[in-house]
Amino acid sequence: MTETPPSRQTALAFLAHPDDAEFFCAGTLIRLAVAGWDVHIATATPGDCGSMTLPADQIAEIRRGEAATAAHTIGATYHCLEERDVNVVFDKASNRKTIDLFRSIAPSVVFTHPRHDYMLDHEQVHQLARSAAFSYSIRNASSLPLVDGSIIPWLYYCDPIEGRDPYSGDPVHSTACVDISDVIDRKIEMLACHASQREWLRAHHGMDEYIEAMKRHSATRGQERGIAYAEAFVQHQGHPYQQSDILKDIFGDE
């Protein structure tokens, strides 16, 4: 464990589905990219259940492309573990794939889902991310080469859907916050890349609910701190994870 600035300025958002990062942490990823960090966005699945009309393989191909395009807008790299929607599980095979993914990227900062969220894909990805964050820098944990500068990363949990614990209904109280007011338009641009999801919601709701829902949540988190838009996180601070808030150190946000 180290509390000194990391030698590798590499950030990874590892989430369940294409567009999860764009909803909950893309503004922070944009700011990290602007600050010179190497940014990676990874999903457990390609979003193969994300259509009411297209077969799984076809919508998966579309959504992989949308995710890669969104990542490209900020100079990030997209990865997919190729698990399948509503079938993500924490088992030996998926754990191995996740550790190998982390090993190849060697992130110093990781964003993932909270322990409690509205669907089990998210909760299983939470476990996979915790396992890989802890173990990827252990020499014998993967057959892939150990990258210089590999560490137990700063680990942040994004908000659950609507910012509420799905079991209690209580609001989640964040421990870290990033001001994304100046990059909200770029975050909208990233989310709008996921046109396959945006269009069916627009047809169903009669409005651009896909974008508006993200803006509402970002505005709510911003209002809590007297700013226009924000992203909020809960930092994992158990042993032996990093204890300082590196996001505050990088951005200086209160």
CA–CA gap between residue 63 and residue 95 (Å, rounded): 23
Assess if residue 57 is contained within a domain. Answer: yes
DSSP per-residue letters across 214-246: HHHHHHHHHHTTTSS-EEEEEE---TTS--S-H
Measured from the Cβ of residue 231, the count of other Cβ atoms closer than 10 Å reads 28
Residue 115 lies in a domain: yes
Strands 109-112 and 154-158: parallel
> Is 220 domain-assigned?
yes
Structure tokens at 165: 């614990």
| Structural domain contains residue 4 | no
Q: Of 179 and 205, which is predicted with more confidence?
A: 179
- 59-82: average pLDDT: 98
Give the pLDDT score at 204: 62
- At residue 189, the pLDDT reads 97
Does residue 3 lie in a domain region? no
Tokens of 241: 């994870």
The pLDDT value recorded for residue 52 is: 85
Element (H, E) at 102: helix 92-105
Residue 156 belongs to some domain of the structure: yes
Q: Which of 7, 249, 234, 8 is nearest to 130 (CA)?
A: 234
CATH number at residue 119: 3.40.50.10320
Angle between helices 195-205 and 56-72 (to 10 degrees): 110
| Domain range for 16 | 10-251
Q: Is the pLDDT of residue 78 over 70?
A: yes
Q: How many domains does the chain have?
A: 1
Query: Is 1 part of a structural domain of the chain?
Result: no
Give the residue from 49, 38, 42 showing the smallest Cα distance to 67: 42
Domain for residue 154, yes or no?
yes
pLDDT, mean of residues 83-93? 98
pLDDT at residue 198, as a whole number: 79
